[in-house]
């Protein structure tokens, strides 16, 4: 039976007239990689800060590991690893010394701490940089150091707030692989991001937030089933007679067609053989066409249909 690691009930946070969190409800199970998705200003970081009791809230309650979370819940906090968007390491300490310091906040046994630090260095692949100071590290390596400092004490719950901002693709991939590895080793993970493709790649369940509210929740497949568009077919073709375009528009599951700029776009809702049916119409009528490709909906499509705005069009 799945255990509930986090339960957020009716959470409200106000800044004057601004409602940052609007009666938020969330439940996160043990072993999940739970994605919090939303534009800047949607309430993701506020949720995390309330979760960690770094921020007082106006209404609601938060339970972690079945216990009420408060600013003095040190027994709970020692089981949590936090990696925030802004890198927080000491410039005057080396890579090794930074990880050792943060690990030492939780692990008193020297031999155990030494092993944990070595495990963290190996995990983020910083073995060749253990004597380097942070200012000598690239952005991607600095992010990895930040992660090592947050997970060195082997927490049961790991919270990552936008950990891949402004890093190169190679480091981004390594960070995402690392998060999945931590999860396989038993950690429950909360991952906040506005990078849809990252959330889609690694998260087992996702909540989409906007304006302090949870507007949708589920697995990526469940979220995609909430929207009308399930498949978009694009075919390079110069022209189609009106009667044939009408025939394609009348096919099962087709709800919209568009012919412009040498491309036919067919939008479908449901169905498993949409592409076959469209191509059959073109071939029966001996129409020549070029490249054909089909796209399934993304989380960005879900967000666009639910909110009416593309995620990356939103401003801070």
Cα–Cα distance measured from residue 261 to residue 312, given in angstroms and rounded to the nearest whole number = 25
Distances in Å between the Cα of 160 and the Cα atoms of 27, 165, 298 are 17, 11, 22
The domain over range 4-219 is classified in CATH as 3.40.47.10: no
- Residue whose tokens read 């963290």: 120
pLDDT at 316 over 50: no
Could you count the other beta carbons within 10 Å of the beta carbon of residue 47? Answer: 30
Q: Indicate the pLDDT class of residue 315, thresholds 50, 70 and 90.
A: very low
Structure token pair of residue 125: 């692949």
Return the domain boundaries, the chain.
4-219, 231-296
Angle, in degrees to the nearest 10, between helices 169-184 and 139-151: 10
pLDDT at position 195 is 83
Q: Give the span between the Cα atoms of 213 and 210, in whole angstroms.
A: 5
Is CATH 3.50.50.60 the right assignment for the domain spanning 231-296? Answer: no
Helix (H, G, I), strand (E, B) or coil at 29: strand
Residues 6+ apart with CB under 8 A from 105: 153
Count of residues in the chain: 316
Mean pLDDT along residues 45-71:
95
- Give the pTM: 0.84
> What confidence category does residue 174 fall into, taking pLDDT thresholds of 50, 70 and 90?
confident
The confidence score (pLDDT) of residue 213 equals: 92
Beta strand pairing call for 213-218 and 205-210: antiparallel
Q: What is the pLDDT of residue 311?
A: 59
Q: What is the pLDDT of residues 266-298, one digit of tens each?
A: 999 988 899 999 999 999 999 999 999 999 898
Average pLDDT over the chain reads 91
Q: Report the DSSP beta bridge partners of residue 232.
A: 267, 295
Higher pLDDT pick, 68 / 172: 68
Distance CA 284, CA 140 (A): 54
Contact of 24 with 58, CB cutoff 8 Å: no
Residue 155 has pLDDT above 80, yes or no: yes
Compute CA 34 distance to the chain's CA centroid, rounded to the nearest angstrom.
8
Query: Within 13 Å, how many C-alpha atoms sit on residue 54's CB side?
Result: 10
- How far is the C-alpha of 140 from the C-alpha of 165, rounded, in Å? 9
pLDDT digits (tens, 9 = 90+) for 162-173: 888 878 888 888
Q: CA-CA distance, 48 to 85, in Å (whole number)?
A: 12
Residue 312 has pLDDT above 60, yes or no: no
Say yes or no to pLDDT of 309 above 70: no
Q: Which of 165-179, 202-216, 233-247 has the lowest mean pLDDT?
A: 165-179
Q: Both tokens of residue 306?
A: 């639910």
121 neighbors 148 (Cβ within 8 angstroms): yes
Task: Give the pLDDT band of residue 83 (cuts 50, 70, 90).
Answer: very high
Q: What angle do CA 99, 88, 110 make, to 5 degrees?
A: 20
Question: Distance between CA 313 and CA 125 in Å, rounded?
Answer: 35
As a dihedral over the C-alpha atoms of residue 38, residue 40, residue 41, residue 43, rounded to 10 degrees, the angle is 40
**Alpha carbons 227 and 267: distance in angstroms, whole number:** 12
Banded pLDDT at 234 (limits 50, 70, 90)? very high
> Is the per-residue pLDDT at 81 higher than 90?
yes
């Amino acid at each position: 039976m799945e255990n509930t690691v986090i339960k957020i009930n009716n959470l409200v946070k106000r800044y004057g007239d601004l409602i940052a969190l609007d009666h938020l409800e969330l439940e996160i199970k043990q072993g999940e990689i739970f994605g919090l998705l939303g534009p800047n200003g949607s309430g993701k970081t506020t949720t995390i800060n309330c979760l960690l009791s770094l921020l007082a809230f106006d209404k609601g309650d938060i339970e972690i590991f079945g216990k009420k979370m408060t600013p003095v819940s040190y027994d709970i906090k020692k089981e949590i690893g936090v990696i925030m968007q802004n890198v927080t390491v000491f410039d005057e300490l080396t890579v090794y010394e930074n990880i050792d310091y943060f690990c030492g906040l939780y692990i008193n046994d020297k031999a155990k701490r030494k092993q944990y630090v070595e495990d963290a260095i190996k995990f983020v692949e910083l073995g060749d940089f253990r004597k380097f100071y942070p200012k000598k590290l690239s952005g991607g390596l600095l992010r990895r150091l930040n992660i090592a400092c947050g997970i060195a004490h082997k927490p049961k719950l790991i919270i990552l707030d936008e950990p891949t901002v402004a890093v190169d693709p190679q480091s981004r991939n390594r960070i995402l692989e690392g998060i999945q590895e931590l999860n396989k080793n038993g950690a429950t993970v909360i991952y906040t991001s506005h990078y849809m493709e990252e959330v889609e790649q690694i998260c087992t369940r996702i909540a989409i937030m906007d304006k302090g509210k949870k507007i949708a929740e589920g697995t990526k497949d469940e979220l995609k089933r909430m929207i009308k568009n399930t498949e978009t077919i694009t075919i390079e073709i110069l022209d189609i007679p009106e009667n044939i375009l009408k025939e394609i528009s009348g096919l099962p599951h087709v709800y919209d067609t568009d012919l412009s700029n040498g491309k036919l776009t067919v939008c479908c809702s449901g169905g498993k053989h949409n592409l076959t049916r469209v191509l059959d119409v073109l071939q029966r009528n001996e129409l020549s066409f070029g490249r054909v490709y089909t796209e399934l909906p993304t989380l960005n499509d879900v967000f666009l249909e639910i909110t009416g705005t593309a995620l990356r069009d939103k401003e801070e």
